[in-house]
């Protein structure tokens, strides 16, 4: 049973907003584009694993949670957590293409692409080792006796994998069902309801927003305007009760909602009418007031000094 379903990470949404609004001349622009691709690939791999686990969860009596983030006593971000009849298994997903070598001495992951480009990364076992230790300690602190294991999964057939045996199994996704059948055959030892409640109670997502603060980017490098959802032109015009893209002629009633959401991810969750006028490039305080009143929570202040809390 899926106890916490797949959900695209808020960091992926934030990076996507930053990539579409950060001026290409900014020195961090290439880095942000790369991080967007990595975040989207990670989410895509985890979603694929969750779909497979959904098929297996009922016949194998598995409980599955996606993206569990625990901040205390030590921060950890767990891609996928599987609770079997006898243990908790942390899944470390690696959606990476090319020829992959997992070396143990020293522990490195080496990736070689078809064009010969060679990159060296930390071995996923290093991170997984920390997660297993920290989650075991977390359970101990809450008086729960629990065996914690880890596996490394490559979800797609876009990688040829060569590895030296280490502490944790390295699997491709099609091997997961047989692996879990073997693990689930052990005698029941786990009160899964207690484990699930404990993990969900302490789940606290990583929220590094606004990203301009996180990456130390001056907001003056963030492009203003309502972006067309059809062609990505960044200067839609407000005509009567809808937004019109002068480039592709696309019309949208609610295009400003994404712009306000971008503002909350990149600059601040709070906004005034004047700030919204500038960001939306809509110098009509009455129109902007109606938009903010219908989509935001009025936090404090009166008239022109009213501060609104942008809702997701």
Share of the chain above pLDDT 70, in %: 97
Element (H, E) at 100: strand 98-104
Q: Is 207 inside any structural domain?
A: no
- Structure confidence by residue, pLDDT tens digits, 22-32: 999 999 999 99
Same domain assignment for residues 192 and 232: no
Same domain assignment for residues 162 and 47: yes
Grouping H, G, I as helix, E, B as strand and the rest as coil, residue 124 is helix
Same domain assignment for residues 102 and 189: yes
Q: Is 163 inside any structural domain?
A: yes
**Residue range 153-163: mean pLDDT, rounded:** 94
* pLDDT of res. 191: 81
Q: Is 217 inside any structural domain?
A: no
* pLDDT of res. 86: 86
- Of residues 246 and 311, the one with the higher pLDDT is 246
Same domain assignment for residues 185 and 277: no
* pLDDT of res. 277: 97
Residue that finishes a domain, picked among 170, 202, 234: 202
**Residue range 150-167: mean pLDDT, rounded:** 94
Q: Identify any residues that bridge with 93 across adjacent strands, giving them in sequence order.
A: 153
What is the number of structural domains in the chain?
2
Same domain assignment for residues 39 and 165: yes
- Structure confidence by residue, pLDDT tens digits, 109-145: 999 999 999 999 999 999 999 999 999 999 999 999 8
Gap between the Cα atoms of 225 and 277, Å rounded: 9
Cβ contact 102:170 at 8 Å: yes
* pLDDT above 90 for 187: no
Highest mean pLDDT among 151-160, 186-195, 298-307: 151-160
Same domain assignment for residues 236 and 145: no
Cβ contact 128:188 at 8 Å: no
Same domain assignment for residues 133 and 241: no
Same domain assignment for residues 196 and 61: yes
Same domain assignment for residues 114 and 20: yes
Measuring CA to CA, how many Å separate 59 from each of 1, 63, 84, 147, 181? 9, 11, 12, 22, 9
Q: Is 91 inside any structural domain?
A: yes
**pLDDT mean across residues, the chain:** 94
Q: Identify any residues that bridge with 188 across adjacent strands, giving them in sequence order.
A: none
Containing structural domain, residue 240: 224-310
Same domain assignment for residues 189 and 239: no
* pLDDT of res. 302: 63
* pLDDT of res. 300: 74
- Structure confidence by residue, pLDDT tens digits, 194-207: 999 999 999 999 89
* pLDDT above 90 for 53: yes
Same domain assignment for residues 238 and 172: no
Q: Which residue has the tokens 């969900």?
A: 200
Residue that finishes a domain, picked among 167, 202, 237: 202
Q: What angle do CA 209, 301, 299 make, to 5 degrees?
A: 40
User: Which CATH number does the domain housing residue 288 bear?
Assistant: 1.10.10
Gap between the Cα atoms of 217 and 278, Å rounded: 18
Gap between the Cα atoms of 262 and 224, Å rounded: 10
* pLDDT of res. 298: 79
Same domain assignment for residues 271 and 178: no
Q: Residue 301's pLDDT band (boundaries 50, 70, 90)? A: low
């Amino acid at each position: 049973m899926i106890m916490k379903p797949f959900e695209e990470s808020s960091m992926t949404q934030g990076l996507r907003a930053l990539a579409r609004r950060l001026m290409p001349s900014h020195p961090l622009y290439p880095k942000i584009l790369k991080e967007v691709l990595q975040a989207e690939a990670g989410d895509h791999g985890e979603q694929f694993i969750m779909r497979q686990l959904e098929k297996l969860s009922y016949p194998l009596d598995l409980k599955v949670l996606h993206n569990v983030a625990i901040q205390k006593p030590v921060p950890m971000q767990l891609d996928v957590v599987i609770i079997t009849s006898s243990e908790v298994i942390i899944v470390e997903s690696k959606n990476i293409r090319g020829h992959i070598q997992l070396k143990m001495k020293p522990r490195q992951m080496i990736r070689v692409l078809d064009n010969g480009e060679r990159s060296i990364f930390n071995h996923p076992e290093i991170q997984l080792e920390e997660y297993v230790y920290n989650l075991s300690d977390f359970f101990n602190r809450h008086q729960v006796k629990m065996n914690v294991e880890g596996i490394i999964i490559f979800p797609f057939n876009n990688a040829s994998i060569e590895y030296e045996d280490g502490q944790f199994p390295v699997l491709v996704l099609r091997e997961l069902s047989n692996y879990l059948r073997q693990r689930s055959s052990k005698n029941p030892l786990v009160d899964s309801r207690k484990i699930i409640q404990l993990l969900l109670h302490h789940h606290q997502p990583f929220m590094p927003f606004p990203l301009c603060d996180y990456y130390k980017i001056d907001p003056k490098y963030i492009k203003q305007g309502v972006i067309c959802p059809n062609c990505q032109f960044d200067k839609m015009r407000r005509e009567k009760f809808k937004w019109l893209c002068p480039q592709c002629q696309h019309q949208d009633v609610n295009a400003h909602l994404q712009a306000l959401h971008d503002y909350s991810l990149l600059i601040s969750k709070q906004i005034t009418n004047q700030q919204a006028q500038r960001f939306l490039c809509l110098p009509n305080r009455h129109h902007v007031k109606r938009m903010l009143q219908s989509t935001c929570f009025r936090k404090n202040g009166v008239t022109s000094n009213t501060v609104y809390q942008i809702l997701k």
